[in-house]
A and B are shown apart, each in its own frame.
Chain A
Amino acid sequence: MGQMIKVGMADLKVCKAPDNLTTIGLGSCIGIAIWDPSTKITGLAHIMLPDSTTIRNNSNIAKFADTGIQKLYDDMIKMGANKSRMVAKIAGGAKMFEISGGNASGINIGEKNAAASKAKLKQLGIPLKAEDCGLNYGRTVEIYSEDGKYLIKAVGKAEKAI
Chain B
Amino acid sequence: MAVSIEQINEMYPDVLREIGNIGAGNATTAVANMLGLRIDMKVPNVEFIEVEKIGGVIGSEEQIVVGIMLGIETDIEGSMMFLMDIPSAHHLVNRMMMRDPDYDAEFDEMDMSAIKEIGNIIAGSYLSAISGLTNLTITPTVPFVAIDMAAAILSVPAIQFGMQGDNALIIETEMGDDVDINGYFILMPEGDSYAKILTALGVPVE
Contacts and interface: CB of A to CB of B under 8 A. Distances in A.
Interface in B146-175: 146-156, 158-160, 162-166
Contact of B151 (A9, A57, A59): A9
Contacts of B146: 96-97, 136
B71 A101 contact: yes
Contacts of B111: none
A155 B155 CA distance: 16
B67 interface: yes
A81 interface: no
Given A9-B52, A60-B52, A155-B149, A104 B154 contact: no
A58 B152 CA distance: 22
Nearest to A26: B152
A158 interface: no
Interface in A106-162: 106-107, 109, 136-140, 155
B162 A25 contact: no
Interface in A48-64: 48-49, 55-57, 59-60, 63
Given A57-B164, A103-B141, A48 B51 contact: yes
Contacts of B117: none
Per DSSP, chain A at the interface is loop
Contacts of A98: 144
B27 interface: no
Contacts of A10: 51-52, 162
B70 A99 contact: yes
A63 B69 contact: no
Contact of B152 (A48, A57, A96): A96
A24 B159 contact: no
A65 interface: no
A11 B162 CA distance: 14
Interface stretch (B73-81, B129-137, B197-205): B73-81
Given A101-B141, A103-B72, A104-B160, A29 B155 contact: yes
Contacts of A101: 71, 73, 141
B193 to A, nearest CB: 10
Contacts of A105: 163, 190
Interface string A25-42: 111110000000000000
Q: Lowest 7 CB-CB distances: which A-B pairs, in order? A: A138-B152, A25-B151, A27-B155, A27-B152, A25-B149, A104-B79, A103-B71
Given A27-B156, A103-B141, 18 more contacts: A8-B52, A9-B52, A24-B62, A24-B149, A25-B152, A27-B155, A63-B52, A96-B148, A99-B69, A99-B141, A103-B72, A104-B71, A104-B160, A105-B163, A106-B156, A109-B159, A138-B151, A138-B153
Interface of B: 4, 6, 51-55, 61-62, 64, 67, 69-73, 77-79, 141, 144-156, 158-160, 162-166, 188, 190
